[in-house]
């Protein structure tokens, strides 16, 4: 039989053998195979010189979006909080459980009351002892004086602030609480239905007006009247209040609310709120940067999540914080500064960034770009030998 005939004769046998289904492996064989595979994988991983170390625990615990959302929604202990007052001024405070936040004529309350509250909600200061929320607390500082002292930077003013920082536990302000403010209903009127005008209202001087005097308002506050009761007393004393239009009445009421209400509104630590605060407080520290200029800068730089950017910041960290917020802490930022240590910027602390959110930021000294640059080494000063202390006998001989 020739080779061709043998090949033709053997081909059906090969097909028949290939068509026989293989028996499934037994459970013991599967277990042994899995154990061997895992051992081989561990051995291979341990032998690799470039095996990565396990990442930090907080990186795998929750997504970065949850960390950012929690920072922008709730207040926790140790955070820096921007409080908007009824006068539209913004005061920066640090939430410490054993401290008392004083707001001048707008009252005072324990800092622990802010822990766990949500941002961008208006809260009123209420005394638990029964007195009204408009009762000024003793020992409180005037906010305008405090702002003036911060701007001037006088040493006397700083020492004075340190003296008043120590507050007795007997101060009734420690019993004050914060609760959400219930706003009065806004006037809902149709323009065609308004028939009142202001033609019979005369603009009188402050001395000729028939409203409450400062002494009468102070007496009402001492009696524990709420801000709403004081406003109603002002309306009752106002002779020509009924001649005003609905819009004039609402405007007058809003002005009195800013004067008598004791409210605070914690602002979320976002770039628009921080920029608003620094433009009121010290615009020169951020180079008088406005919100529209900052948004245009971020747009033209095409800042987006996952990007890599070189940043030269001379605005106290505002540009860096804006880039980090736009990136969502996903990407890389390389800062250039003039020192061999990371810059200490207050704006990054004001925005309450966590360590995980600040992880994309790296810093580099300008001089390290040169080839011949060497980092300065810390040299210890030569120690001078100590002179022997004269004994009592030598002192007597002298």
Structural domains in the chain (count): 3
Contact 133, 123 (CB under 8 A): no
Q: Which stretches within the chain are classed as H helix?
A: 3-18, 27-47, 57-61, 64-73, 143-152, 155-165, 214-222, 227-237, 246-260, 271-281, 291-300, 318-327, 346-350, 392-397
Cα dihedral sign, 333-334-335-339: positive
Claim to verify: residue 83 and residue 174 sit in the same structural domain: yes
- Over residues 205-246, the pLDDT tens digits come to 555 566 788 888 888 878 878 888 888 888 888 877 777 788
- Over residues 45-87, the pLDDT tens digits come to 334 333 344 444 444 578 999 999 999 999 999 999 999 999 8
Claim to verify: residue 90 and residue 176 sit in the same structural domain: yes
Claim to verify: residue 304 and residue 360 sit in the same structural domain: yes
- With CA atoms as reference, report the closest residue to 355 among 54, 57, 105, 41: 57
Report pLDDT for 277.
95
The region of weakest confidence among 68-72, 111-115, 170-174 is: 170-174
Residue 14 belongs to a domain: no
Domain ranges, residue 118: 63-129+169-181+263-268
**Torsion angle in degrees (nearest 10) through CA of 310, 316, 319, 325:** 110
Residue 301 belongs to a domain: yes
pLDDT class for 110, splitting at 50, 70, 90? very high
pLDDT class for 40, splitting at 50, 70, 90? very low
Claim to verify: residue 298 and residue 230 sit in the same structural domain: no
Claim to verify: residue 86 and residue 176 sit in the same structural domain: yes
Q: In what order do the strands lie in the sheet with 331-337?
A: 307-311, 331-337, 361-365
Report pLDDT for 300.
96
pLDDT class for 143, splitting at 50, 70, 90? very low
**What average pLDDT is seen over the chain?**
74
Claim to verify: residue 247 and residue 280 sit in the same structural domain: no
Phi, psi of 263 (to 5 degrees): -130, 155
pLDDT class for 372, splitting at 50, 70, 90? confident
Residue 12 belongs to a domain: no
Of 229, 260, 291, the residue that ends a domain is 260
Claim to verify: residue 74 and residue 123 sit in the same structural domain: yes
pLDDT at 328 over 80: yes
The region of weakest confidence among 11-20, 178-187, 304-313, 380-389 is: 11-20
Residue 104 belongs to a domain: yes
- With CA atoms as reference, report the closest residue to 316 among 277, 345, 288, 351: 345
pLDDT class for 340, splitting at 50, 70, 90? confident
Give the three-state DSSP class for 91.
strand
CA distances from 343 to 140, 354, 365 (A): 35, 16, 10
The residues, ordered by sequence, that sit 6+ positions from 98 with a Cβ below 8 Å of its Cβ are 111, 112
């Amino acid at each position: 039989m020739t080779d061709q005939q043998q090949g033709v004769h053997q081909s059906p046998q090969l097909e028949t053998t290939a068509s026989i289904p293989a028996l499934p492996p037994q459970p013991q064989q599967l277990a042994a195979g899995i154990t061997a595979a895992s051992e081989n994988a561990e051995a291979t991983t341990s032998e690799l010189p470039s095996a990565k170390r396990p990442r930090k625990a907080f990186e795998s615990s929750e997504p970065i979006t949850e960390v950012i959302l929690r920072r922008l929604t709730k207040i926790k202990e140790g955070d820096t909080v921007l409080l908007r007052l009824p006068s539209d001024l913004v005061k920066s405070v640090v939430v410490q459980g054993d401290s008392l936040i004083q707001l001048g004529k707008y009252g005072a309350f324990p800092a622990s009351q802010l822990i766990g509250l949500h941002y961008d909600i208006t809260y009123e200061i209420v005394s638990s002892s029964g007195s009204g929320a408009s009762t000024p607390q003793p020992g409180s500082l005037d906010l305008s004086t405090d702002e003036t002292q911060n701007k001037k930077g006088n040493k006397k003013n700083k020492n004075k602030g340190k003296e008043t920082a120590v507050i007795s536990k007997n101060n009734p302000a420690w019993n004050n609480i914060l609760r959400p403010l219930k706003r009065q209903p806004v006037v809902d009127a149709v323009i065609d239905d308004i028939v009142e005008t202001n033609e019979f209202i005369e603009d009188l001087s402050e001395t000729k007006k028939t409203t409450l005097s400062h002494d009468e308002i102070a007496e009402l506050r001492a009696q524990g009247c709420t801000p709403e009761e004081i406003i109603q007393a002002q309306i009752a004393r106002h002779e020509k209040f009924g001649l005003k239009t609905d819009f004039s009445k609402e405007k007058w009421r809003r002005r009195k609310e800013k004067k008598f209400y004791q409210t605070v509104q914690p602002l979320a630590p976002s770039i628009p709120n921080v920029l608003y605060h620094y433009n009121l407080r010290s615009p020169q520290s951020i180079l008088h940067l406005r919100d529209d200029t900052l948004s245009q800068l971020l747009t033209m730089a095409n800042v987006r999540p996952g990007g890599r950017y070189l940043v030269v910041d001379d605005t106290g960290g505002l540009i860096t914080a804006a880039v980090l917020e736009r990136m969502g802490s996903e990407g890389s930022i390389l800062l250039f500064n003039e020192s061999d240590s990371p810059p200490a910027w207050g704006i990054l602390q004001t925005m309450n960034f966590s360590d995980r959110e600040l992880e994309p930021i790296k810093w580099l000294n300008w001089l390290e770009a040169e080839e011949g640059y060497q980092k300065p080494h810390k040299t210890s000063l030569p120690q001078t030998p100590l002179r022997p202390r004269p004994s009592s006998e030598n002192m007597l001989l002298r």
